[in-house]
Structure 1
Amino acid sequence: MQPRNMSMSGVVDLAAVKAAGEAKAKAEQARAEAARKAAQGGAPAPAGAVPPSALVFDTDETRFESHVVPLSGEVPVILDFRAEGFEQGRELSLLLERLTLEANGRLALAALDVAANQNLIREFRIQALPAVFAVVAGQAMPLFQDLPSEGEVRGVLAQLVQIAEERFGVIGVEVDPGAEGAAAPGQGAVEAEEPAGPYDALLDEAIAALDADDLDGAVRAYKNVLAADPSNTDAKLGLAQTELFVRVKDMNPQAVRAAAAENPKDPAAQIAAADLDLAGGHVADAFGRLVDTVKVTFGDDRDAVRVRLLEMFEVVGPDNPLVTSARTALARVLF
Structure 2
Amino acid sequence: MTFSRPGAIDLSALANSQPAPSAAPGQAADGAVYVIDATEQDFQNIIQSSLQHLVVLALWSPRSPQSSDFTDLLVQATTRYQGAIQVARVDVDANPGIAQALGAQAVPLVVGLVKGQPVPLFQGTVDAAEIARYFDELVKLAAQHGLTGRAAPSGQATGAPADEEEPADDPRFAAADEAFAAGDFATAIAEYEKLQAQHPGESEIGERLAGVKLIARTHGADLAAARQAAADRPDDLEAQMLVADLDVSGGHVDDAFARLIDLVRRTSGDEREAVRQRLLELFTVVGINDPRVATARRALATALF
Q: TM-score, normalised by structure 2?
A: 0.41
Q: Which has the higher contact order (CA 8 A, sep 6+)?
A: 2
Which one has the largest radius of gyration? 1
| TM-score, length of structure 1 as denominator length | 0.38
Of Structure 1 and Structure 2, which has the larger fraction of its residues in helix? 1
